[in-house]
Structure 1
């Protein structure tokens, strides 16, 4: 007999993880610019708006109504942010996830056209509103795409963090910029993650990227047994579990945009490290919600792998 969780589809997008984001996606699909503005106006000023921005940017065809908003409202930082991030999405879609050597010249041209346009729009957005943390957050991504040094990405992160109480999305982006594959080092990745945890308020997502940092360190070796060997080290597992206890498992934690991403990363790192009891705490909170990070890098069958992992941990 199948368990109930096996019958329910996995929900992997941010819009499926929070009811308010599901509403925002419907409004964006309808091309309702006043409705989009109203949604962002209703968000807490210093919350992480970057997740909501991505929900709009992931809507197919959103560039059409967003371009009209940019053309109509010359002073809208929000319109430029959303259209800029939509250009980022379109750029990475054109590039695909293939290795750089397998990306065609035509794909690179389209990618760079979109990324340079995104950078211009996001630069305009922060010129209009210097405290636009979501725009600064996405400029970490454009810095990576344009090959800027990690120091410039860190400058952009600092501006995002200056105007956002819990810049979890910006932290996750900067982790990528600091990786060796983008010109950084594993030491800088792990030092930054620990810095975020130490400085962050307990019971928030600040510092949950400790899990991301260890995942990235594990993935510096593409051999499956080496990945698991690293994550199974006692010191690594204990540091990941301690970060979870201070963030998503803390008694004061309240679900905020990005919570599913954090729990999914913790679940992945602990499960692949063989720590089934502590991974189970994250699977239990996730239910049929999950984010692909980590899981999809490990396997093309990441959806079924996630379900199997939950069952093995004793939750599903």
Structure 2
């Protein structure tokens, strides 16, 4: 989840493990390869059959995270002007491209030329995404990434809520839209700790049993932990009430019989694994690490260290050392 604030670098290295940007997903790997090779017909054929709103947003996010797309995407748009898909790829990619220009540092550490390029690229993104939304009344993916860009464009609360509602009116439990709206409500952006927790808890409780939206609870607790001074952060995340809430969220989501892994699922389990590990519930953390295997994701581990893989491995070793 970008942008983020990084903790101090750890000394641990992970030469034997790396982050797979496709998260072990063959379709995502094929899509990345096609876009890296400027093979838009193959990318189109991979994306067109995907109709589930959550899956569609995930795979468009995969496409958006491929470097260099901005250099040639116009060829696809010109070749298929009646299709919204290449325009959507350009818009989603421009969101990622914008944050690449800004970087992950705090505003006080970001140069003005970075901000100018950031705003320029976000404007391109929103122009593309708005056009897709105008042309496709049922679209959820363009509207989801407009929720993402809401933070960068610093839109007011009413506009951010309007963008979010435009997604959830069409797909109430959209995972990625909820992730990004939760970020908007964090104190580090435009909300508060109280708003963040209210949003996370309400969505998790209202979502159907087995929904991945239970992940919003560990996200909120990790955000709170990240915002506290050293010393207070450990006391907070290890509190009995936090451990109990993490377990309740897991019981209604990733540990519920109705839960099903969907594309992008490693992020959900990495969130719970980090939450349980930080909270000291090692048995619950071990269970999540067993599901994950080696599919470490950069988010949320970069919250702990700029060496996300090292943080993942250190946590996994720690919890396994005490339990199994």
Report which stretch shifted further, 95-104 or 200-209.
Answer: 200-209
Correspondent of 1:116 among 123, 133, 136: 123
Runs of 5+ unmatched residues, structure 1: 1-5
Contact kept in structure 1, 2:23 and 2:264, CA below 8 Å: no
Moved more, 143-152 or 161-170: 161-170
Residue 87 (structure 1) aligns with: 94
1:131-146 counterparts in 2 under 5 A? 131-146=138-153
Tell me, what secondary structure is at the counterpart of 1:63?
helix
Name the CA distance, whole Å, in 2 between partners of 1:36 and 1:292: 24
Contact 1:57 1:85 in 2 (8 A): yes
1:74-101: per-residue Cα shift (whole Å, max 9, x none)?
3322222210111111211111112211
2:55 to 48, 56, 61: 48
What do you get for the CA RMSD once the two structures are aligned? 1.9
| Aligned equivalents of 2:279, 2:49: Cα separation in 1 | 41
Question: Mean Cα displacement is larger for which, 149-158 or 139-148?
Answer: 149-158
* Structure 2 residue aligned with 1:281: 287
Which residue is equivalent to 2:68? 61
Residue number in structure 2 paired with 1:257: 263
What corresponds to 2:11 in structure 1?
none
| Structure 2 residue runs without a partner (length 5+) | 1-13
Contact 2:91 2:128 in 1 (8 A): yes
Aligned 8 A contact 2:143 2:164 in 1:
yes
Aligned ranges 1:171-210 → 2 under 5 Å: 171-210=178-217
Task: Report which stretch shifted further, 64-73 or 18-27.
Answer: 64-73
Partner of 2:174: 167
Which residue does the alignment assign to 2:314? 308
Deviation at 1:7, TM superposition (A): 7.6
Q: Is contact 1:204-1:253 (8 Å) kept?
A: yes
Q: Give a deviation string over 1:114-162, Cα, whole Å, max 9, x none.
A: 0111111110010011221111111012111011123322221222223
Map 1:203-282; keep pairs closer than 5 Å: 203-221=210-228, 223-282=229-288
Distance in structure 2 (CA, Å) of the matches to 1:47 and 1:304: 30
**In structure 2, C-alpha distance between the alignment counterparts of 1:240 and 1:286, rounded to whole Å:** 18
Residues 238 and 188 (structure 1), Cα distance of their counterparts in 2 relative to 1, 3 Å cut? same
1:128 paired to 2:135 = yes
TM-score, normalised by the number of residues in structure 1:
0.91
Give the direction of change, closer, same or farther, for the CA distance of 1:22–1:164 in structure 2 (3 Å limit).
Answer: farther
2:308 and 2:15 mapped to 1: Cα distance?
17
The structure with higher relative contact order (CA 8 Å, sep 6+) is 2
SS at match of 2:180: helix
Q: CA deviation at 1:228?
A: 1.9
Q: In the alignment, is the contact (CA less than 8 A) between 1:168 and 1:258 conserved in 2?
A: no
Q: Report the Cα offset of residue 295 of structure 1.
A: 1.9
Number of matched residues?
309
- Contact preservation (8 Å) 2:53, 2:174: no
